[in-house]
Chains A and B, each alone.
Chain A
Amino acid sequence: MAFPEVFDHFQALLKDHQTAMEMIADLAEKSGGDYIFDRKYLVDALHEIKALLLKIVKGLNFITGNRCPDLYPTLDRIFMPLEAELRGRLSLSEEMPLVASLDALPLDKPELTGGKANTLAEVRRRLHLPVPNGFVITTRAYRRFLECNQLEDRLATVLESWSAGRLGDRQASRQIQYSILASVVCPDVARVVKRQLESSLENWAVRSSAYGEGGDLTFAGLHESFLNVPASDLLETYKKVLASLYSPEALSYRRQMGMLGEEAAMAVLCQAMVNSLVSGVVHTLNLEEPASDNLVIYASPGLGRTVVEGRANIDRFVVARSPSHAIQHIEVASKETLIRAAAAEGEKEAAISLEERDKPCISEDDLQTLASWALTLERYFKRPQEIEWAQDSKGQIWILQTRRLTLPPAAAALAPNVCESCALYPVLIQGQGTVAHAGIGCGPVYQIQTNEDLQEFPEGAILVSRYTAPWLAPIVPRAAAIISARGSAAGHLATIAREFRVPALVGVAQATELLKPGMEITVDTHRRVVYAGKVKELLQYELVQATVFEDTPEFRLLRRLLRRIAPLTLIDPQAPDFTPQACKSVHDVLRYVHEKAVQELLDLPRFLKRFRGAKIWTLLSEVPIGLKILDLGGGIDPAVRGQQVKVEHLRSLPLRALWEGVEAPGVWSTEPVQVDFKGLLSSLTKTSTSEFAGYNLAVVTETYLNLHLRLGYHFNLIDARMDPDPHHNHIYFRFVGGATDISRRSRRARLLEQILTGYHFKVDTKGDLVVARILHLPQDEMRGRLRVLGELIGFTRQLDIQLRSDEDIPQFVQTFAGRHPHGEAAKTTGG
């Protein structure tokens, strides 16, 4: 095959790679809620991506002479479950667990774990609020139960008679429940449940977690839960909970809701028992006065049932929703009895002493904690919440359940003229920026300059920043919204915002100037408006009226697809598991293909032998790096003759920018160096003079650069694009190796991490490997960062020797930052 042909294929491959990456970024952006799409769009998009990937893999095999056939089965392995997701067939497949702990269950499969368990796992893992640990016996285990007891036909027959009206709720219920209770839990399920029980001696709360519960349909109270169950009784209790799926009440509810034909399935949540001294419920809206800006906390001594079932006299506290949650009104009830856990198992009723009867059963501090947690839950779930809580003997408060609060019709009629109400508030910013995650957020502005401010960030404030820097990620869950002046809806921070459902608007040019610290503002991404003040009517409209798009089937499906498409897990091309077999996502495959294609070009001796016609330039530079350049088009001034090219003849924007950094005064150290360093330098010179040895090659176009540099023992890779349209732009930087011991090299990796983080790169380090990525900045910002990378390449040559201890790191960060007094890096320290 002739060189020009391979060359064309390589260019086509680069282009397809870029297109595929943009399609992935585009899908991620669609998951932010600003776009309206349907299922068909997802089907089409996935087919398009698959076709492109197939083309790319074929292209790579063409370039490499068919040396990557393993990629075809890899594509099948990655796309098969994606297609199964589209057909809705994955959740109950063999791939799914029978039992999963709250900390390990998949968060995007409520049909597997049931609404309650799914919600509580989100609360525990995303919001980090205290939820008793435990595990869920999934709906797949429920199917196993029916299967191995051969109950499916029996149930179907009874339910058919029931839905045809030949059997009443009560008769049907009795027949089904009898069958379930008389069956046995299959051995494979029993085994995994027992494994979960081994770790604990405590008693358990065994709770129903039906699918639909906690979601759009509320099965609240229809299914059974059992408290204080000893481990030895857990499997028997499990059956009782399963049986409650067919209680007369549940059947009658299903009839009312028109769910006759639908399959029911039950997951069961088992949690460590909280022996509560006090328990209760929070309503994040006061149902008696929905328009007031208050929430209500109910509390009573003992286990939660008294409040939920309304069985005893209960303390009622009306608390302001806005911080610092002032207590507006208290009604203390006279409480005579409480229900508590009995010593061995079960529950018992006990009397309350005379002096305790008329005191409030919860402290003011605890009320405020509860109020703040309740609003965090409401902000995340985007609906008024009804939260069950309990306080144990150590004073710790636990969240036992949270679900959508059913509103009276009066509340639903709130804010009918939301448009007219909004018009009364001053508009600070309108029609600017890109929506990274849709929604409404209100709070005080908090501007972050350095990561020392991270700790200070107040719960529920609005994060205003210049960049969507990845180091801001830890505060995302605490933010009511995010507004940034620069940044991309496809970047890391945007992904985090979507994960935590925090409304985010990026690319609002003057955000940091217009939105002053402490100002109370309301952001509405749907109209891309920032109002001054708290637009109460809009917030209420959103809570009560608008669709929670995150909960719609289309969005859930897109999120599930993205989980198999977007994450990058293949980070280190030198690692032994950088193989097609290790690819976990579409992104991984793209990464692998790109690396292999470039490597093919980089194997210069072989390459030149294969393609005698290829023209390789040599860069003439003050810095002694013998850089070879392969120009794929527009990278070098066409007027240049011969084999050598001067820096000023480079037309490739990214290479020029990088080289400005490499050649910047003082970067390529000419200071007297120590013996070690001389050795290093000599090895460097050796590498750079011997023709084509090593990897000093740049593959360029006018807007693209792929650069491999081996300087002594340092190995640098930069892949960058600088297009006029920021959406095409990226920098990928990899740095590894060095002549010293691993501890010094790791130290250097940490130093690079700190510096690059300061320039808003997403940085991953592993030992002495540093991988930094940044996306979608405008050309001039890309230029600045490439220049910094150029300087770093020179700068880090010295570091192995000079970084003697971890204490030296901050000083070096300062030294480097000192060269860039205007960069934000100067202010950012620490990881």
Chain B
Amino acid sequence: MSQNKLKILVLDDEPIVCKRLQPALEKLGFTVDTFTRSFEALQAVESSTYDIIITDLKMEGMDGMRFLTEAKKISPEVEVIVITGFATMETAKESFKKGVFDFIAKPFNLGEIQQVVQRAAAKIRESRK
């Protein structure tokens, strides 16, 4: 059963987001790696295969969009979930219509993110049947 586990990468420059998401997603049966720096996350995407990427859009000193573009280039199959502040939600939705599975606004509760991730996982499993 373990080999069927989907792998998730979480990138957010706020350590609290990573710390809280990891156990919440592990409990749903995913393998979770977390990063607070985009270049380290990008290295991980290059060296390992992820099924789902969860990333913040606005991070200090880096561009979430660029990370996404790069990650998608390396791994076009990956489903991306974007975390964003309320203020940037609309712009985010507009510019990411393609290639992003869904958006989630900060602050969010565990139930919300778990739901979105489950939907992404269902889509992945469906496509691999």
Q: How far is the CA of A35 from the CA of B111 in the complex (A)?
A: 9
Residue among A418, A419, A420, A438 with max Cβ neighbours from chain B (10 Å): A419
Complex interface bits, B20-41 against A, C-beta within 8 A gives 1, otherwise 0: 1111101111100000000000
Q: Which residues of B contact A546 (CB under 8 A)?
A: 23
Q: Which residue of B lies closest to A542 (CB)?
A: B23
Q: Which residue of B lies closest to A423 (CB)?
A: B29
Task: Determine if B92 is an interface residue (Cβ-Cβ < 8 Å).
Answer: no
Q: Which residue of B lies closest to A529 (CB)?
A: B27
How many chain-B residues does the 8 Å CB contact rule pick out?
25
Please tell me if the beta carbons of A418 and B27 are within 8 angstroms of each other in the complex.
yes
Please tell me if the beta carbons of B107 and A37 are within 8 angstroms of each other in the complex.
yes
Q: How far is the CA of A35 from the CA of B112 in the complex (A)?
A: 9
Please tell me if the beta carbons of A526 and B23 are within 8 angstroms of each other in the complex.
yes
Q: Which residue of A lies closest to B107 (CB)?
A: A37
Please tell me if the beta carbons of B26 and A36 are within 8 angstroms of each other in the complex.
no
Given A547-B20, A552-B19, is A36 in contact with B107 using a C-beta cutoff of 8 Å? yes
Task: Determine if A584 is an interface residue (Cβ-Cβ < 8 Å).
Answer: no
Q: Which residues of A contact B30 (CB under 8 A)?
A: 419
Those of B86-129 within 8 Å (CB) of chain A: 106-111, 113-114
Q: How far is the CA of A791 from the CA of B109 in the complex (A)?
A: 41
Q: Which residues of B contact A34 (CB under 8 A)?
A: 109-111
Please tell me if the beta carbons of B20 and A422 are within 8 angstroms of each other in the complex.
no
Among A38-46, A277-285, A562-570, A710-718, the stretch that binds chain B is A38-46
Q: Which residues of B contact A527 (CB under 8 A)?
A: 27-28, 110, 114
Q: Within the complex, what minimum Cβ distance (angstroms) separates A693 from chain B?
A: 51
Query: Which among A422, A526, A553 is the interface contact of B24 at CB below 8 angstroms?
Result: A526
Please tell me if the beta carbons of A36 and B23 are within 8 angstroms of each other in the complex.
no
Q: How far is the CA of A420 from the CA of B26 in the complex (A)?
A: 10
Please tell me if the beta carbons of B107 and A420 are within 8 angstroms of each other in the complex.
no
Please tell me if the beta carbons of B20 and A420 are within 8 angstroms of each other in the complex.
no
Q: How far is the CA of A705 from the CA of B114 in the complex (A)?
A: 40
Those of A517-565 within 8 Å (CB) of chain B: 524, 526-528, 538, 541-542, 545-547, 549, 552-554
Task: Determine if A690 is an interface residue (Cβ-Cβ < 8 Å).
Answer: no
Task: Determine if A805 is an interface residue (Cβ-Cβ < 8 Å).
Answer: no
Q: How far is the CA of A733 from the CA of B16 in the complex (A)?
A: 41
Given A36-B106, A36-B108, A420-B1, is A545 in contact with B23 using a C-beta cutoff of 8 Å? yes
Q: How far is the CA of A549 from the CA of B24 in the complex (A)?
A: 12
Q: Which residues of B contact A542 (CB under 8 A)?
A: 23
Q: Can you list 19 contacts pairing A with B, beta carbon distance less than 8 Å? A: A35-B110, A36-B17, A36-B108, A36-B109, A37-B106, A38-B14, A39-B14, A419-B30, A420-B2, A438-B110, A526-B23, A526-B110, A527-B27, A527-B110, A528-B111, A541-B27, A545-B26, A547-B23, A552-B19
Q: Write the residues of chain B forming the contact surface with A, with a CB cutoff of 8 angstroms.
A: 1-2, 14, 16-17, 19-24, 26-30, 85, 106-111, 113-114
Beyond contacts A36-B108, A36-B110, A422-B27: 7 other A-B pairs, Cβ-Cβ < 8 A, are A36-B16, A36-B21, A36-B107, A37-B16, A420-B2, A526-B24, A547-B22
